[in-house]
Amino acid sequence: MVNYRVMPNEKPDEILSILAADARTTPERIADLTGSPVDVVVAAIIDYEKRGVIKRYKTIIDWEKTGQERMFAFIDVKVQPARDVGFDNVAKRIYRFPEVQSVWLVSGGSDLRVVVHGGNIRELGRFVAEKLATIDGVIATDTHFLLRRYKEDNDIFVDLEDDERLVVTP
């Protein structure tokens, strides 16, 4: 059976979806894209910011192209949960390190999935061995170094092909 929403076309939050794709989109541009008045757009954005719906605006950088060496590792961490707080205490101790970019509680063979960045493999290895693995409650770690980024947060990091359509078609 084909599944349709009967009325198509309007997403619940056009403004958020435009900003999620490009945080630099100006309110004037959003107004043109949505057909809403600029002041309505501005008020909506302020409201989103106040309510923490919009947490902050970030830039996606392909660090490889800057020539700087930045290593990333995905670390699966097995944790001994503690009474009352479950995994929270260990997660908190991990996410406070500035090297740690993300921490998620996940289902499956391990409990926490951690993303860590550092200047090189040595730095990252030291961080895992000396900081992460030694936290009370951490039973085991399994480290995966990032080798190549193909796609992240909907952005494709390899060069795409040009528009090959004919210039004018009926």
Partner 1 sequence: MKEEKKTTPPLAKLARELAPSGIRRFFDIAASMQDVISLGVGEPDFVTPWAVREAAIYSLERGQTTYTSNYGLIELRKLISEHLQERYSVNYRPDDEILVTVGVSEGMDLAMRTILDPGDEVLVPEPCYVSYKPCVTLAGGIAVGIATSAENDFCVSASQLQAASTSKTKAILLGFPSNPTGATMPRAALEEIVKLAVASNWFIISDEIYDRLSYDEMHNCVSSIPGAFERTILLNGFSKAYAMTGWRLGYVCAPEAILTPMMRIHSYTMLCAPITSQKGAIEALRSCESAVQDMISQYNRRRKFIVAGLNKIGLQCHLPKGAFYAFPSIASTGLTCEEFAERLLFEEHVAVVPGTAFGMGGENHIRCSYATSLEKIETALIRMGRFVERLSGKSLVEQSR
Q: Which residues bind partner 1 (CB under 8 A)?
A: 1-11, 14, 17-18, 29, 32-35, 163, 165-170
Q: Between residues 33 and 82, which has the closer beta carbon with respect to partner 1? A: 33
User: What's the token pair of residue 130?
Assistant: 């000396």
CB 59 to partner 1: min, Å: 17
Q: Between residues 51 and 158, which has the closer beta carbon with respect to partner 1? A: 158
User: What's the token pair of residue 127?
Assistant: 């961080």
CB 44 to partner 1: min, Å: 16
Q: What is the DSSP string of 103-136?
A: EEE-SSS-SEEEEEEESSHHHHHHIIIIIITTST
Q: Between residues 1 and 147, which has the closer beta carbon with respect to partner 1? A: 1
Read off the DSSP letter of residue 101.
E
CB 28 to partner 1: min, Å: 10
Q: How many CA atoms lie within 13 A of 139 on its CB side?
A: 10
